[in-house]
């Protein structure tokens, strides 16, 4: 029971799990200081109770082009209500930690806006806004570590521990989130094929799976086609899913969310290094009143299901992984190295060992095999993060492709200094599925995307989609081409080579002949001088200016966030300057106004 005079609430907005991991770390550290503390996703928290909270730490990431994470959107919308009095949160003390990436235009903007809004509502900030940058040499830990040290110094000054009560030392292992009760070993046929084992285990558990709002539809894959030439370095797939009977609805610009699975080879390797029996059947129970049980988690569950569907064994471990792993090491050399990785002096070495080469949790456990074999089953839920769903812009049209969802997906596979290539969990799994196998189903649901196209088909569209940024434009172009009257559609597509990675070439060549589409391509490696989409935009400056100024066209950009969005924006500014007789400042202001009107939208990813 807490001896502190105050509860510490940690609210997080997390898209990929990093902010949640940080929030859970804060809770562990709060409990070492005898605070009653819990971490809650913002949208799962009853925001009306915020009026009564005395001390809150907010941890939030920024997604896309300055958007809040999915599990923060409802909370944020409520905070922005104009009818909230300026004295709403005068009882609350708070601190905000933002997690961002400075390569994006709107770096950490969600945290900045949250800090400002909380102050507008009367809350008292106890600490300078923390802005962690994933681009830093040491990642987000470079800012997060010192910020957390400052946080505890301020918090304990405001709420000192009672006399005789000491901070629980870092040498004491925290209690696990859950209790695990082993029931039995499920009797399955002996097989070296992990997938077969899983399918049989799944039938044992199916009746116990809790169906709810987060339960995805299992869509049958009926096409898995490579759309790059066999000799091209990158494997890109057009995947087609049958959603008949799902009651799933989407519009162009929406996003399909996929729950991935780990691959059989990595599952088997994990089971081998940890010594776990895949057929062990267990149930989860609450061990901490502040930590609810997992929603939609099978009860009972097999270790096979846990490793296949829940544990993110192929992710690059965060610092918290090592901080928790060290408690289970009884080997002197391994424990010494783990403790070194957790020290302030060992951060550069840890970053080189993990982040620079993208070493996975599985590979770390193989390096620390004696420790891996000593991890209790219940601690896996603390040490290893859950698999996160992956989002893909939908590349099909609900009108042209009824009862279907198409995904345009690059299979992630690249080399580092490590022997084995790095593989994307979701893309590798999807690419491995055989569309001729009736069991090839994909757990999927739909959410609103960053890009929102006008519902009026008479609004002209200018679209810039190099690489797989093409996906949302394939959706809206097919949709518009089914309409009776559609305004002009202009697409700028860029790739390396016309013969190697011109995705969906047949689709677009047909649509340019029979519909309102004009296509301008930039094949960067087909000639001595590289050509990119921004150069094609400059070449078509007169057309673009007339569409924007005379026809009120909307502009959409989708693709890699590294430099393309900035380069395209600059090209559009140059077009406005040269064809609209604007100064550089006027052109930039004109684009900002288009952005405010939602006539200029960007969807970018790293």
Which parts are annotated binding residues for FMN? 14-19, 61-64, 99-108, 134
Residue in the block written with tokens 């010494």: 336
* C-alpha to C-alpha distance for 393 and 469, rounded to whole angstroms: 8
Strand stretches in 215-274, DSSP E: 217-226, 236-242, 255-258
Count CB neighbours of 73 within 10 A: 16
Q: Which amino acids are annotated as binding site for FAD, given as ranges?
A: 390-393, 424-427, 605
Cα distances (Å, whole numbers) of residue 319 to 340, 361, 378, 523 = 12, 11, 20, 41
**Is the separation of the CB atoms in 215 and 233 below 8 Å?**
no
C-alpha count within 13 angstroms, C-beta hemisphere, residue 305 = 22
Q: Which amino acids are annotated as binding site for NADP(+), given as ranges?
A: 468, 524-525, 530-534, 567
**Is the separation of the CB atoms in 326 and 339 below 8 Å?**
yes
Q: Which amino acids are annotated as binding site, given as ranges?
A: 14-19, 61-64, 99-108, 134, 390-393, 424-427, 468, 524-525, 530-534, 567, 605
**Is the separation of the CB atoms in 319 and 338 below 8 Å?**
no
Its sign, for the CA torsion 225, 228, 232, 237, is: negative
Q: What is the DSSP string of 310-334?
A: IB-TTSPPPHHHHHHHGGG--SHHH
* C-alpha to C-alpha distance for 269 and 314, rounded to whole angstroms: 11
**Is the separation of the CB atoms in 274 and 304 below 8 Å?**
no
540 conformational bin, left if phi > 0, alpha if psi -120 to 50, beta if neither: alpha
Cα distances (Å, whole numbers) of residue 13 to 99, 329, 429, 501 = 10, 32, 27, 37
Give me the long-range contacts of 345-352 (CB less than 8 A, separation at least 24).
347/138, 347/141, 347/142, 347/145, 347/319, 348/137, 348/138, 350/319, 350/322, 351/137, 351/138, 351/139
Residues 6+ apart with CB under 8 A from 274: 365, 372, 373, 375
Tokens in use for 325? Answer: 């792993």
């Amino acid at each position: 029971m807490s001896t502190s005079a105050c509860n510490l609430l940690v609210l997080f907005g997390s898209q990929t799990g990093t902010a949640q991991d940080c929030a859970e770390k804060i809770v562990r550290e709060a409990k070492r200081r005898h605070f009653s503390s819990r971490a809650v996703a913002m949208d799962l928290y009853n925001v009306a109770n915020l009026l009564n909270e005395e001390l809150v730490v907010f941890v939030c990431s920024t997604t896309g082009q300055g958007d809040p994470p999915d599990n923060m959107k409802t909370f944020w919308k409520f905070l922005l209500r104009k009818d909230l009095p300026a004295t709403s949160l005068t009882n609350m003390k708070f601190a905000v930690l933002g997690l961002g990436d400075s390569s994006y235009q709107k770096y950490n903007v969600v945290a900045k806006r949250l800090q400002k809004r909380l102050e507008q509502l009367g809350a008292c900030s106890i600490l300078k806004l923390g802005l962690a940058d994933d681009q830093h040499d040491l990642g987000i830990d470079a800012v997060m570590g010192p910020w957390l040290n400052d946080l505890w110094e301020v918090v304990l000054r405001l709420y000192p521990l009672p006399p005789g009560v000491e901070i629980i030392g870092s040498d004491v292992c925290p209690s696990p989130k859950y209790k695990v009760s082993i029931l039995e070993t499920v009797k399955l046929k002996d097989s070296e094929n992990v997938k077969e084992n899983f399918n049989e285990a799944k039938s044992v558990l199916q009746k116990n799976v809790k169906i709810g709002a987060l339960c995805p539809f299992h869509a049958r894959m009926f096409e898995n086609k490579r759309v790059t030439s066999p000799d091209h370095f990158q494997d890109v797939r057009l995947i087609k899913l049958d959603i008949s009977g799902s009651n799933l609805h989407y519009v162009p610009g929406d996003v399909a969310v996929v729950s991935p699975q780990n691959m059989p080879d990595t599952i088997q390797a994990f089971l081998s290094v940890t010594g776990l029996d895949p057929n062990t059947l267990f149930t989860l129970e609450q061990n901490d009143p502040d930590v609810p049980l997992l929603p939609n988690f099978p009860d009972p569950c097999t270790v096979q299901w846990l490793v296949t569907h829940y544990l993110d064994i192929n992710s690059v471990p965060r610092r918290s992984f090592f901080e928790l792993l060290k408690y289970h090491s009884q080997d002197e050399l391994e424990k010494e190295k783990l403790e070194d990785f957790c020290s302030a002096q060992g951060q550069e070495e840890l970053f080189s060992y993990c982040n620079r080469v993208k070493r996975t949790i599985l590979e770390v456990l193989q390096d620390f095999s004696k420790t891996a074999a000593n991890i209790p089953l219940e601690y896996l839920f603390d040490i290893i993060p859950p698999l996160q769903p992956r989002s893909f812009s939908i590349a099909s049209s609900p009108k042209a492709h009824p009862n279907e969802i198409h995904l345009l997906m690059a299979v992630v596979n690249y080399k580092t200094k490590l022997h084995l290539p790095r593989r994307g969990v979701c893309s590798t799994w999807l690419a491995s599925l055989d569309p001729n196998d009736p069991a090839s189903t994909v757990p999927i649901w739909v959410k609103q995307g960053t890009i929102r196209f006008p519902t009026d088909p008479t609004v002209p569209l200018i679209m810039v989609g190099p690489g797989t940024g093409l996906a949302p434009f394939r959706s809206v172009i097919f949709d518009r081409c089914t309409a009776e009257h559609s305004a002009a559609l202009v697409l700028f597509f860029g790739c390396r080579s016309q013969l190697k990675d011109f995705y969906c070439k047949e689709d677009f060549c047909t649509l340019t002949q029979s519909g309102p589409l004009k296509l301008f391509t930039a094949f960067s490696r087909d000639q001595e001088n590289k050509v990119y989409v921004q150069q094609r935009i400059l070449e078509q400056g007169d057309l673009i200016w007339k569409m924007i100024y005379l026809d009120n066209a909307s502009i959409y950009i989708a693709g890699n966030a590294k430099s393309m969005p900035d380069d395209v924006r600059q090209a559009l500014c140059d077009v406005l300057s040269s064809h609209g007789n604007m100064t550089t400042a006027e052109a930039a202001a004109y684009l900002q106004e288009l952005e405010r009107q939602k006539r200029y939208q960007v969807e970018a990813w790293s």
